[in-house]
Amino acid sequence: MICEKFMRRAIELAEGGRGKTNPNPLVGAVLVRDGEIIGEGYHEKVGGPHAEINALMDAGDVRGANLYVTLEPCCIQGRTPPCTKALIEAGISEAIIGMVDPNPKVSGRGIEELEKAGVEVASGVLEGEVRKQNEVYIKYVLTGRPFVLMKVAMSLNGKIAEKRGRRTIITGQEAQARVHSLRSQFDAVMVGSGTVLADDPELTVRMVEGKNPIRLIVSTGASIPLGANVVKTARQVPTILATTREVPENTAEVLRAAGVEVLILGSPDVSGVDLFELMDELGRRRISSVILEGGACLNTSMLEAGLVDKFLFFIAPKVLIGEGALDFMEWNHCTSNPDFEIASVERVGADLMIEAYPTKRSETIGNR
């Protein structure tokens, strides 16, 4: 009999690998015999043993046990041997799977191998929760492009700054700490040159423990000052400037000398940085997730291109007034009214955090 509480435990275990397994999935596994857990494991880091192997090592003798695992066990040789072989040799009797692996190299084949060896298999248990947990992996493995989360800190009236070029602290410390935690879970953090000029951000992880993401600045003409924090620390934190052929060669040389990678994208018939080409290039570099932190121009371009997969709105209990107050989007440049599907609302300190998705989205976005 399938018991969902064991799958929920596997999902809980999988969270232990968040931010450490990219571009691989988050996976948790639980081994059960006679209604009792005898072994647990999760995929702890990329290149390390998979969840099933860690659970087998934790349990010892597992003959006749049932396996609860969030993702279909792999059947191919990668950085580690296939899990299906180890599970069959260990003698498990049944495998209860959260979701079939969307990776075309695996999808359904792991289940087939287990069944051929006499292991009973059931799949689709708490699949919705597992798919949500692995939304980054699903997008990346199906499209070759990173999952993009747009993060916006704004006032009640949708403003992100008092005026253009002025750094404005919107949210409280609890929300800021949540953003730093998110940065540590993503492969890259992306901003436009306007944000660098206005805020001079570090774009690092400071308020919590965690790794720094790659810093990605998008600028058509490489208009970032050499004294900016992202340039001064480029040798300590990987920093990429995505720009165009409009960048003066001497500017590119100086930035490269400072440790910034200058990535020239686009063709003469494309105005500005080709964002589709940028996403494809990031995917080739195995960058599977990007947190987009503005500003309004880049937010608008990414949303209009259909390249945003998810939104996190941090809304502070304040109003910013004045003709120069900036919206988080350049609405006059939008060709359609964006609609959002709210997934959750949470209070973070004095602020609200709204998790939302674009209503018109697909896991296999591949349009230009």
| Alpha carbon separation from 261 to 102, 222, 243, 251 (Å, rounded) | 33, 12, 10, 12
What is the pLDDT, as a whole number, of residue 236? Answer: 96
Per annotation, catalytic residue among 12, 15, 52, 127: 52
Cα–Cα distances in Å, from 180 out to 189, 276, 350?
11, 27, 17
Cα dihedral 318, 322, 326, 327, rounded to 10, equals 60
Contact 71, 97 (CB under 8 A): yes
Neighbouring C-beta atoms of residue 281, cutoff 10 Å:
16
Strands (DSSP E) contained in the chain are 28-33, 36-42, 66-71, 94-99, 120-123, 147-154, 159-161, 188-192, 214-218, 239-243, 261-264, 289-292, 310-315, 326-327, 340-348, 351-358
Q: Number of C-alpha atoms within 13 angstroms, CB side, residue 357?
A: 11
What 8-state DSSP symbol labels residue 197? H
Tokens standing for 71?
A: 């993702």
CA distance 163 to 325: 5
Q: Which residues of the chain are modeled with pLDDT < 50? A: 362-368
Six token digits for residue 243: 């720009």
For residue 52, indicate whether it is catalytic: yes
pLDDT for res 228: 94
What is the per-residue pLDDT for 269? Answer: 61
Rounded CA-CA distance 242/287 in Å is 15
**What is the model's pLDDT at position 65?**
95
